[in-house]
Amino acid sequence: MGLHKPFASATLVGLGAVALSGCDNQASRFGMPSPLSSRGTSILHLWQGAWIAALITGAITWALIFWAMWRYRRRSDDEIPVQTRYNLPLEIFYTIAPVFMVIVFFAWTVKAQDAVLQKPADPTAVNVVEVTGQQWSWTFNYGIGANSNADGDKNAADLNQSIADYFRSYEAHQKDPSVPLAAYPFDYKQYAYLAGDGSNIPVLVLPVGQTTRFNLHSPDVIHDFGVADFLEKMDVVPGRVNHYWVTPDKITAVFDANSSDNNFLAPSTATGYNGTQSDTSHYYLRDGACYELCGEYHSRMLFRVAIVSPADYAAYVAALAKRNLMPLGQGPNIGGMDAIIASTGVEAK
């Protein structure tokens, strides 16, 4: 038994070294992508902690199995070994230990979830993107200018009602300008949208170092909006507006209105990019998708993500507004407006 304690200590030290070796090391992330959002770090740490706990538990379990095989191996010609029917201390231990582990995992999960969903200190300082998941693509609608009210922590029914009221009043206002517009919960002066389709994979553009709030709409079935490199995703449910925030912390692309590749270039010369030219294949446009089976062409619900400088973001949204197919009136012009109205699941008052 004298050799067991040094071996156990070495195992724990080795696992601790893996845990503390840094998030840039692929092995230390246990297969998880390196997060491109500051909020994703909480998910990464939860994942690492779960793996380390599982490895320690597995190592102890296998060690006990092999120890029992060796300790109680057959040593005589007796066909029936000594029978041990009960061991009360051991039974108490293997009843309490799993319950304790579940409690610890639950507490870690709640802590990570609270960190990911924490409301920004100043909700009016965030960018708001209205995300619509429709069979089978995505529409991204960007607010332009100052946002006077980004506080979306209202009751979900009230938020949906406010959005529905706005869109109904917008339709009426388009027909008769004397009809006033209802108050919109996210009060930008203008919006610019990008709609994807079966032959066009849309690009979601986000500014580095700034918090962006996604308001998630669906006019048809349940989708799930997520980007693997953010380590976050959320259901897009008809009849309600779910939301979450991301704060990207790495530039992955440069906006170039004159380029032919979706107007984005690799960021080898981007401000704030610390990599080299050989790193550009790892960066550039990242992948997003629908993570909920939503019908026959679910696999087509893809999009790409470009994280750019704040200046590039402003230039992109301005360029997008100029080339929108629908006139850019006051309020959120979204491709397929009837679909967005339907996504709220309520009628205007």
User: DSSP string of 280-298?
Assistant: TTTSSSEEEEE-S--STTG
Q: How many helices (H) and strands (E) does the chain have?
A: 6, 12
Q: What's the mean pLDDT when you consider all of the chain?
A: 73
Residue located via tokens 């669906």: 218
> Which amino acid does the sequence have at 27?
A
Residue 225, CB-side half-sphere exposure with 13 Å CA sphere: 28
Contact 169, 179 (CB under 8 A): yes
- Give the pLDDT score at 265: 72
Neighbours of 307 (CB within 10 A): 28
**Terminal Cα-to-Cα distance of the chain (whole angstroms):** 77
Beta bridge partners of 205: 306
Confidence category of residue 164, pLDDT binned at 50, 70, 90: low
- Comparing 344 with 94, the larger pLDDT belongs to 94
Neighbours of 222 (CB within 10 A): 14
DSSP assigned state of 216: E
Most distant CA atoms of the chain, gap in Å: 101
- Comparing 72 with 313, the larger pLDDT belongs to 313
pTM of the model: 0.68
Residues of the chain with CATH 2.60.40.420: 123-268+282-344
Above pLDDT 70, what percent of the chain? 66
Nearest Cα to Cα of residue 4 among 49, 90, 55, 71: 71
- Give the pLDDT score at 96: 92
Confidence category of residue 194, pLDDT binned at 50, 70, 90: confident
> What is the total residue count of the chain?
349
Q: Is the pLDDT of residue 330 over 50?
A: no
Q: Does domain 123-268+282-344 have CATH number 3.30.465.10?
A: no
Q: Containing H/E element for 304? A: strand 302-308
CA distances from residue 228 to 36, 123, 288 in whole angstroms, order as listed: 9, 25, 7
Residue 176 CA to residue 190 CA, distance in Å, equals: 19
CA distances from residue 241 to 171, 249, 251 in whole angstroms, order as listed: 20, 26, 29
Q: Is the pLDDT of residue 107 over 70?
A: yes
DSSP assigned state of 327: -
Q: Is the pLDDT of residue 269 over 60?
A: no
Q: Is the pLDDT of residue 259 over 70?
A: no
CA distances from residue 87 to 81, 83, 91, 94 in whole angstroms, order as listed: 17, 12, 6, 11
Residue 190 CA to residue 207 CA, distance in Å, equals: 18
- Give the pLDDT score at 153: 52
